Chain A
Amino acid sequence: MWDYTPIVKDHFLNPRNVGDIPDADAVGEVGSLACGDALKLYLKLDADKDRIVDAKFQTFGCASAIASSSALTEMVKGKNLDEALAISNQDIADFLGGLPEEKMHCSVMGQEALEVAIFKYRGMDIPAHDSEHDHGHAYPDYEGEIVCKCFGITDTFLKKVIETNSLTTAEQVTNFTKAGGACGGCIPKIKELIAQVLGEAAAKPRTRPEKLSNMKKMQLIQEVLERDVRPLLWADGGDLELIDIDGSRVQVAFRKACAGCASSGNTARMVEIKLRDLVAEDIVVEEVSA
């Protein structure tokens, strides 16, 4: 049984905003019956055609797909289109208190439908979506070369998801996008894409800022842990939780495979080096058991 959070369960059992909006301004549709999940999102805008005043959804899929759709409609209401576009799949997952990693593709589907709806509304060219095609193009707005033939997922889309979620393994890419989850034939290609994205990221020089306010420092520490540290731990089945930041003292607790791991001391050291490289030279990382 999946370990769904109470928020996921609530949004699955009591989904908000199910249905359609007959005079919707924007409609976004992704997925298909063949893929195993699909979402049709309807958005209604205010008189200025800028702010989302109503959102409804229809979803075919598992509990987390329904919960992600429900969460998405709650999140976009009241936002203007640019604010809505800034919502990431991680934001949807966070709203739900987290999703099992194997189910992250449900949050990606939500973000995708939102993007398709807004892009279409803005008149950007998107091929018509055929809801019954057999394993066709799951994310119709992403041009590019199809990498995963089973789920119809392109390289452009995969690179975007790899980059935004800092994915480092093919397994994570499968969890987030489903690509590679059926026949597995495209896994070598997915690994190439990860290498490409990592290469591009490495090419962008990231340096330690000159001066940081305490507030900025705390934000940057959190960002580095999310972007640069946790994905590395996930790859080994581990995880960490940020417990506290007190000036330059960063307290973390190791979770999953890292918890009680004999080499967690080394891992703490690795975290410290990363933070010293990217945040501030005087960072000290302490492992706590909380």
Chain B
Amino acid sequence: MKEIYLDNNATTKVDEAVFEEMRPYFCELYGNPSSMHFFGGQVQSKVNEARNRVADLLGASPDEIIFTACGTESDNAAIRSALDVFPDRRHVITSRVEHPAVLTQCRNLRQKGYRVTEIGVDGAGRLDMEELKGAVDDDTAIVSLMWANNETGVIFPVEEAAGIAKAKGALFHSDAVQAIGKIPINMAASGIDMLSLSGHKLHAPKGIGVLYLRKGTPFRPLLVGGHQEKSRRAGTENAAAIIALGKACELAGLHMVAENTTVKAQRDLLQDTLMRAIPHARINGGGAERLPNTTSIAFEYVEGEAILLLLSEFGICASSGSACTSGSLEPSHVLRAMGVPFTCAHGSIRFSLSRYTTDAEIDTVIRELPPIIARLRLMSPFGREHLQGQK
């Protein structure tokens, strides 16, 4: 069965051109970029080229790019560094809807005696800016807020938030893992100090990330050892993956317009048609500015895992904010923070598209999903009494 892959916020296909770019750096050009000989040197120059390509996509300078192993490492490095450079500041601010890479780290800091504020969101997933303004004080070391939410695609006003943080002398970090490659980002005109990127969300392989570090921002490395990455991240460079990420960033720049026109149109068609075909449904974060590729739809009176497994029968790959899929027992913290009613918190499905998504694939989902929801509702003890009048 051919997959219809609409789970690109989880991970993406490695672009063939990206794979070709990295292929020689395993068996042939396997030198260590830090070596003095010609054999390492030729890898070094490709790593430099990759650094330039990443910097170009972000509107950054190559010196500001630190290669890491993943988005999670970048997030951890950013927050730990801020606490190390401001030992007298004991307050950290984040949001209630962050990725666990940030949220778990912040909650662990609370155990260590730090004051941690988690800013709330409204019903559409928009950040409570007034709460943020009231929370930042002279004790705040770092404010870490995601650029765009992985589950709903809701975009936060990170530039404005960065301004609020800087006014009190705090550092500002943004987990931009979901945003990069989907919406234009220009760090040259930004007040953000640190930014996290993950390769496998933009058609590079897994196991490569970036921490953007604004020039002049004080920094203490998470990993120490060798002098790689100007001593800001020790450990032999994952040269092949770095080279792949460079190519992926170049392609992301080329496809940025398509992402916001073609992909967005497919996403809109998918969600609008489903909303018309299926009663008792709502778009999570539908009232907010969102990424062009993401839609999260909550279906009342059905459970997400059951929907996903029935979709899977048609080759359709999506994800769910439901508890049962993750092994936890409560619906996602993002949906709960948004106050999504309990009648549909368990039945949310996220579709995340990419530039590889075809119109035919969208048509398949539009055809197959409504009967799946109807079937599960008929099976549900709550389906009938609440769904009088459903087609």
Which of B305, B310, B380 is in CB contact (< 8 Å) with A59? B380
Query: When A34-B342, A60-B303 are in contact, do A15 and B329 touch as well, CB less than 8 Å?
Result: no
Judging by beta carbons under 8 Å apart, are A36 and B381 in contact? no
**A62 is an interface residue with CB less than 8 A from chain B:** yes
Q: How far is the CB of A172 from chain B (nearest CB, A)?
A: 14
Query: When A58-B380, A60-B382 are in contact, do A182 and B346 touch as well, CB less than 8 Å?
Result: no
Binds A, one of B21-29, B231-239, B320-328, B356-364: B320-328
Judging by beta carbons under 8 Å apart, are B382 and A62 in contact? no
Other A-B contacts than A40-B381, A58-B381, A59-B379, 14 sampled, CB-CB below 8 A, are A12-B309, A33-B343, A33-B382, A36-B329, A58-B379, A58-B383, A60-B303, A62-B303, A62-B304, A63-B305, A66-B306, A102-B327, A103-B324, A181-B329
Which of B303, B378, B379, B382 is in CB contact (< 8 Å) with A36? B303
Interface centre among B301, B378, B380 (most CB of A within 10 A): B380
Query: When A13-B313, A178-B329 are in contact, do A62 and B381 touch as well, CB less than 8 Å?
Result: no
**A150 is an interface residue with CB less than 8 A from chain B:** yes
**B131 is an interface residue with CB less than 8 A from chain A:** no
Judging by beta carbons under 8 Å apart, are A36 and B301 in contact? no
Q: How far is the CB of A89 from chain B (nearest CB, A)?
A: 17
Which of B310, B329, B380 is in CB contact (< 8 Å) with A60? B380
| A49-92 vs B, Cβ < 8 Å mask (1 yes, 0 no) | 00000000011111101100000000000000000000000000
Judging by beta carbons under 8 Å apart, are B328 and A181 in contact? yes
Closest 9 CB pairs of A and B: A181-B329, A62-B324, A62-B305, A58-B381, A40-B381, A60-B380, A34-B342, A182-B330, A36-B346
Nearest-CB residue, chain B, relative to A70: B379
Bound CA span A36–B378, Å? 17
Q: How far is the CB of B277 from chain A (nearest CB, A)?
A: 21
Q: Which residues from chain A sit less than 8 Å from chain B, CB to CB?
A: 2, 12-13, 15, 18, 29, 33-34, 36-40, 58-63, 65-66, 102-103, 131-132, 134-135, 150-151, 174, 178, 181-182
Number of A-B contacts (CB under 8 A): 77
**B199 is an interface residue with CB less than 8 A from chain A:** no
Chain A residues closer than 8 Å to B324, beta-carbon distance: 36-37, 61-62, 103
19 example contacts (A-B, Cβ-Cβ < 8 A) are as follows A2-B305, A29-B381, A33-B346, A33-B382, A36-B323, A36-B346, A37-B303, A38-B382, A58-B381, A60-B301, A60-B302, A60-B381, A61-B306, A61-B324, A62-B306, A62-B325, A63-B305, A150-B330, A182-B330
